[in-house]
Amino acid sequence: MTDQSKQPDALEVALREASQLLPTQPARAAERAAAILREQPGHPHAALILGVARRMGGNLVGALQVLAPLARAQPGWAPPCYEMGVTLGLAGRRKEAVEWLRRAVQLKADIGDAWRLIADHLLALGDPSGADAAYANHLIVSTRDPRLAAPATALLNNRVMEAEGLLRAHLTQNPTDVVAIRMQADVAVRLRRSALAEQMLAYCLELAPDYTAARHDYALVLHRLNKSTEALAQVEQLLAAEPKNPSYLNLKAAALTRIGDHAQASEIYSSILADFPDNANVWISLGHTLRTTGRREESLAAYRRAIELAPGLGEAWWALANIKTLRFSPDDVAAMRQQLTRADLSENDRVHLRFALGKALEDAADYAESFRQYAEGNRLRRATSGYKADDTIAMVQRSRATFTSEFFDARRGWGAAAPDPIFVIGLPRSGSTLVEQILASHPGVEGTMELLDVVALAWSLTVRHKDAPVKSYPELLAQLGADEFRELGERYIEQTRVYRRTDAPFFIDKLPNNWEHTGLIHLMLPNAKIVDVRRDAMGCCFSCFKQHFASGQDFAYDLRDIGRYYCDYVELMAHFDAVLPGRVHRVDYQSLVENTESEVRRLLEYCGLPFEDACLRFHENKRAVRTPSSEQVRTPIFRDALDQWRHYEPWLGPLREVLGDHG
């Protein structure tokens, strides 16, 4: 005989059926829930199902009409608060969405998706630090395995090595735990091991192709590794599911900028701002793309808008300062000083503001106070850079020992035959952008940007040959055969094709730091041209000191480090002059300024190009320029910058001492 007391009543059955219909048939679930509410007005579970069903069916207004009164009537129940947050977010009402999602996690802290949505919304609203904290909480509460709680907590508190050890031990026993693999990739990124993070995230996605968070991480790492085409492919997969997600759109725009598609990047940034006009960081990104394409006034307006929205956002102030032809007003100076008094200012904002204020005071001829600001910005930046001058010295010594005349003679004729690249090398702030602009004004030459492909190829060799007898670069190049050097050259040509927009036979790769890889460039591309732009030591080094670089120039935040780096550069280039006579063409910046036509003729002759008057009218070239000199190369040559460093001579003793005879 059946025990009727143990049978579910009709209401319970109806609720269960409605819930089961939600994932696949939200319209039918809504019908069932509405029927229950006709019989039981105000029933909370039925109202919740109806609200969710309407939201899943795209009826956001109808969903809110049900969920809002339910959430007010049940203030201690987390699910209606969470659903309010989800629905408001889909409706574009992000600030309200965050408020409701925060209520949900206050009532039930382990709603992982709520933390993730809070983070997404905060990032779109221009609060990256708040987003980071929310993402960290998402990671912790989404880690159901208690064995991952400890490394997640360690990551949240930036105890990176502790997290690394715990995760390594866990993955030894559980090698396919995709959550742990993603966390270990996060550790690798924090330790600046992006290539390792790439491998781990690729494996993670092999195991779990639908792991959206891992795919986003993977796209970010590919972007950092200058694999823009691959990053875009990952972002497109993400956007297929969430076409309006601002984080994905922002990453797509950044990757497009990296490959030189500034027009599409600007369109994407503008579309994000149409939905989220108060996002100061996106205004900065839009300003960068506008500035790169020569739209100076529009870029200024974008940076100013970012400052209106976030007066303490140091990157916006530095973006203005980095437009070298701009002069700050006294009100601007007062505003920057005021922001620096804030106790809640982040270290990153403080650094950017110091550099911007240094530029403003330099323009006002207050050199003592200007230097103090530059020095403080550099001190703060140097404390986190991790740069070791001895590493550069050792690299130069190893390069000189490896790259002998005999070494190159034995490999004569190796490498890919392509003559396409013209490498412009030297130190930053040496005049390399001017030389690039002159060359790019020739109809046979296309200007691209500062490409990272040679650096990436050099790094890939150390990974590929990690088990070889000699692992260090450049010594390991002695182990490579002719086929490998040819393959490296061909790979470089193929990888850089994405940056080329015209059918010009030659293109420019203007990454100053490629001076460190002159030997590799010669071996893999023996017919490529190499142009070394040299500026006087004191002027070049101090110009580096007062420039806050986005990345890649960690030597530039201490006068002694800069001086040693300059000496190392001069020493290695002198070595190549000796072992490969005539291989590298040197342009002296001061001579270029004072004897422009004769120096341009020499340069074009070295490159095998006929003389073109357009190269003397380089300032008329409308091409995109991404470096700090982008405005200066759109004006005729001027010599004002040659001796600017002399205003600071009383404070440059440490630099002159290190430079010695080079100064």
Residue 123: per-residue pLDDT? 76
pLDDT level of residue 622 (50, 70, 90 thresholds): low
Contacts of 420 (CB under 8 A, 6+ apart): 493, 505, 506, 507, 528
CB 49 within 8 A of CB 29: yes
Question: Token pair for residue 639?
Answer: 């010599």
CB 125 within 8 A of CB 276: yes
Q: What mean pLDDT is predicted for residues 350-368?
A: 96
CB 548 within 8 A of CB 348: no
Residue 385: per-residue pLDDT? 85
**What are 274-321's pLDDT values in tens digits?**
888 888 889 999 999 998 888 889 999 999 999 999 999 999 999 999
Contacts of 640 (CB under 8 A, 6+ apart): none
pTM for this prediction: 0.76
CB 462 within 8 A of CB 476: yes
- Domain range summary for the chain, segments of one domain joined by +: 9-173, 389-634
CA dist 330 and 91 (Å) reads 43
Half-sphere exposure of 168 toward its Cβ, with a 13 Å CA cutoff? Answer: 8
Q: What CATH number was assigned to the domain covering residues 9-173? A: 1.25.40.10
CA dist 177 and 204 (Å) reads 8
Q: What mean pLDDT is predicted for residues 628-647?
A: 63
CB 129 within 8 A of CB 281: no
Which of 94-108, 241-255, 394-408, 619-633 has the highest average model confidence (pLDDT)? 394-408
**What are 556-584's pLDDT values in tens digits?**
999 999 999 999 999 999 999 999 999 99
**What are 335-356's pLDDT values in tens digits?**
999 999 999 888 999 999 999 9
Residue 384: per-residue pLDDT? 84
- According to DSSP, residue 628 is labeled T
Q: Which CATH architecture has domain 389-634?
A: 3-Layer(aba) Sandwich (3.40)
Q: What mean pLDDT is predicted for residues 621-626?
A: 53
The bridge status of strand 506-509 relative to strand 529-534 is unpaired
CA proximity to 317, closest of 577, 113, 331:
331
Residue 301: per-residue pLDDT? 95
CA dist 26 and 32 (Å) reads 10
pLDDT level of residue 402 (50, 70, 90 thresholds): very high
The residue to which tokens 């986005």 are assigned: 550
Q: How far apart are the first and last CA of the chain?
A: 103
pLDDT level of residue 630 (50, 70, 90 thresholds): very low
Residue 5: per-residue pLDDT? 41
Contacts of 103 (CB under 8 A, 6+ apart): 78, 81, 85
